[in-house]
């Protein structure tokens, strides 16, 4: 239409920047770093627990699906 300023086309998706532009106080920065390190510790602990769980499941499966004579040969309890 005549008389209205031409507006540039807006993109369909608005982009949000994850970086804060303000300068944070030191205590807030330290608190965020401590929280991040605590989250990382919990994440790593859960990863280790999961790996140990999977490894134990594989060992149990192997134990129950192998030939018992390979694990306990005849006469293994007697000298």
Cα angle 29-33-39, degrees, rounded to a multiple of 5 = 145
Query: What is the b/e burial string over 16-52, where b = at least 16 CB atoms within 10 angstroms of the residue's CB?
Result: eeeeeeeeeeeeeeeeeeeeeeeeeeeeeeeeeeeee
Its pTM stands at 0.57
pLDDT at residue number 1: 57
pLDDT in tens, the chain (79 residues): 567 766 666 656 666 667 778 899 999 999 999 999 999 999 999 999 999 999 999 999 999 999 888 888 888 777 6
Taking the CA atoms of 21, 27, 32 and 33 in sequence, report the sign of the dihedral they define.
positive
pLDDT at residue number 39: 97
Name the E strands within the chain: none
pLDDT at residue number 75: 82
């Amino acid at each position: 239409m005549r008389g209205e300023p031409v507006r540039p086309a807006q993109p369909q998706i608005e982009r949000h920047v994850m970086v804060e532009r303000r300068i944070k106080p030191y205590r807030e920065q330290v608190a965020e770093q401590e929280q991040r390190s605590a989250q990382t510790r919990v994440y790593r602990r859960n990863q280790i627990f999961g790996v140990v769980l999977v490894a134990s499941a594989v060992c149990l499966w192997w134990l129950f699906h192998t030939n018992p004579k390979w694990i306990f040969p005849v006469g293994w309890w007697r000298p």
